[in-house]
Amino acid sequence: MCCVIRNRMLRKHTVRGFLSRGNNKCFIDIFIGHWNNFMIMFEQDTFGHHLILHPDEYLCDAIGRIEKREESGNYERNHSET
């Protein structure tokens, strides 16, 4: 299992992305309103592999990194991967 999330410092960038995709205020408030709590929970989670997206990187951009992990069989937890 691989959990993919934005870099903690990209909160404003994430809000802009939500707005540009037409997400409503309620949706944005759930994620952004509790941003720090969500990030802390993610950082403390010990299940599966963690992949943090780089600035201006999206899930489709990170698929290559995920595939390399799967091919190598290296699923160790690493929430600070770059």
pLDDT of 54 above 90:
no
Task: Render pLDDT for 26-51 as a digit per residue (tens, 0 to 9).
Answer: 999 988 999 999 888 888 888 777 88
Nearest to 26 by CA among 59, 34, 8: 34
Where do the structural domains in the chain lie, given as residue ranges? 2-72
CA distances from 20 to 24, 37, 42, 52, 66 (A): 10, 24, 25, 21, 26
Q: pTM value? A: 0.63
Predicted pLDDT of residue 21:
92
Residue type, 80: S
